[in-house]
């Protein structure tokens, strides 16, 4: 009887055991699942290793090939490293018609100057601001910014070019900052003639970080004082002036193009203003003027996008321009004076004014007046330049 009772309970026990077993995966099922996961992992790892094994050598080959190409190209010009590019004096003046003359009744310098320029180029505006402030007369040749045939005589294809008459002919001066430094040095001490001063600003060949050969003008922010001893106060002022002149070239000017060519409409409006203020209708035939406006506006609109990225401007490029202007105005406010130079403009005032003058007719400039306190300083500078007030500071010859 006890045996029968135990046998009768056996099905129930088997049923309970079955339930227990069903709660857990079978050993072979667990193994198969783990096996599949392991297989997938192996596939991913294998693909990754293949990618690395193929990609790494390809990347190395590309890098080495590019480096080899760059070095090979650079090796063609290594012999020029450190060489000084000599400026050739022209025996005769280029036969290019003068667009207009700027005649100053207070000019006592006896300089004979011809400025090859774009009317609204910020670097050309810097040079004009300097010449006008000191009341120096000069001729202007307006250059076609697309064809540039007016400077076909020069191996240097940028503007401004200031052609200066010297004893042995005509000396072309390049780079706006060097032009200003050289002329300022001459005006402070007329015994230093142009021919001698140009030797203080050698144009030296060097390779940049990309191994491309370029020429860099040495000392272009330095004035030459000959044997003059300067006081500590004057030395500090000169260093500060030099710092802000360099800032104008290295930072402020790079905020302009992305702003005045911000949209295609702004680019066209800007070039139409260039045409108006530069008297293009007077100096160039209609077909040439239309090419300058249409090709120039479209090209600069495209280029401005790259410039925005290259110079790390904000998404709203206006804010970057406001920031630079405010940086300048704050520095003047700290000095507690009207100008960076104190009660009269110095070379950094003239540089910043010239650069901003180049966009005066653009919507970007109007926005600057509306959103910063630029107008007080700018209007004061305009008065100083229009009255040629710098002429009274010139030393006698």
Positions marked active-site: 118, 121, 123-124
- Reported as type and span, the H/E element at residue 139 is strand 138-142
Measured from the Cβ of residue 162, the count of other Cβ atoms closer than 10 Å reads 26
Whole-number Å distance between alpha carbons of 184 and 199: 15
From first CA to last CA, the distance across the chain in angstroms is 143
SS3 231: coil
> Does residue 355 contact residue 248 with C-beta atoms inside 8 Å?
yes
Measured from the Cβ of residue 390, the count of other Cβ atoms closer than 10 Å reads 21
What does R_g of the chain's alpha carbons equal in angstroms? 35
Measured from the Cβ of residue 8, the count of other Cβ atoms closer than 10 Å reads 9
What are the backbone dihedrals phi and psi of residue 314, each rounded to the nearest 5 degrees, phi first?
-70, 160
Whole-number Å distance between alpha carbons of 221 and 229: 19
> Does residue 195 contact residue 171 with C-beta atoms inside 8 Å?
yes
């Amino acid at each position: 009887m006890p045996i029968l009772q135990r046998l009768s309970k056996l099905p129930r026990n088997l049923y309970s055991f079955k339930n227990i077993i069903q709660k857990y995966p079978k050993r072979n099922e667990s193994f198969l699942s783990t096996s599949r996961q392991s297989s997938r992992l192996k596939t991913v790892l294998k693909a990754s290793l293949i990618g690395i094994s193929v990609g790494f050598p390809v990347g190395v080959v590309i890098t080495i090939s590019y480096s080899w190409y760059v070095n090979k190209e650079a090796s063609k010009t290594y012999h020029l490293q450190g060489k000084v590019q000599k400026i050739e004096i022209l025996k005769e003046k280029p036969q290019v018609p003068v667009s207009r003359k700027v005649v100053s009744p207070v000019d006592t310098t006896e300089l004979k100057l011809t400025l090859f320029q774009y009317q609204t180029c910020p670097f050309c505006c810097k040079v004009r601001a300097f010449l006008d402030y000191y009341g120096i007369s000069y001729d202007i040749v307006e250059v076609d910014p697309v064809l540039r045939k007016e400077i076909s005589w020069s191996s240097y294809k940028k503007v401004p070019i200031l052609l200066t008459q010297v004893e042995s002919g005509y000396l072309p001066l390049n780079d706006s900052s060097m032009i200003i430094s050289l002329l300022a040095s001459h005006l402070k001490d007329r015994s230093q003639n142009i021919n001698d001063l140009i030797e203080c600003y050698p144009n030296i060949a060097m390779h940049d970080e990309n191994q491309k050969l370029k020429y860099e003008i040495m000392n272009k922010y330095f004035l030459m004082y000959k044997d003059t001893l300067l006081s500590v106060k004057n030395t500090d002022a000169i260093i500060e002036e030099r710092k802000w002149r360099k800032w104008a070239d290295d930072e402020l000017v790079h905020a302009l193009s992305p702003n005045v060519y911000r949209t295609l409409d702004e680019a066209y409006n800007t070039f139409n203003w260039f045409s108006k203020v530069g008297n293009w209708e007077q100096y160039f035939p209609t077909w040439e003027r239309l090419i300058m406006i249409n090709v120039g506006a479209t090209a600069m609109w495209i280029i401005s996008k790259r410039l925005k990225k290259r110079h790390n401007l904000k998404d709203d490029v206006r804010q970057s321009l406001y920031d630079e202007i405010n940086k300048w105005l704050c520095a003047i406010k700290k000095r507690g004076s009207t100008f960076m130079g104190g009660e009269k403009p110095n070379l950094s005032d003239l540089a910043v004014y010239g650069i901003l003058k180049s966009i005066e007719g653009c919507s970007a400039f109007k926005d600057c007046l509306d959103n910063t306190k630029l107008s007080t300083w700018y209007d004061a500078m305009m008065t100083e330049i229009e009255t040629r007030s710098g002429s009274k500071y010139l030393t006698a010859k």
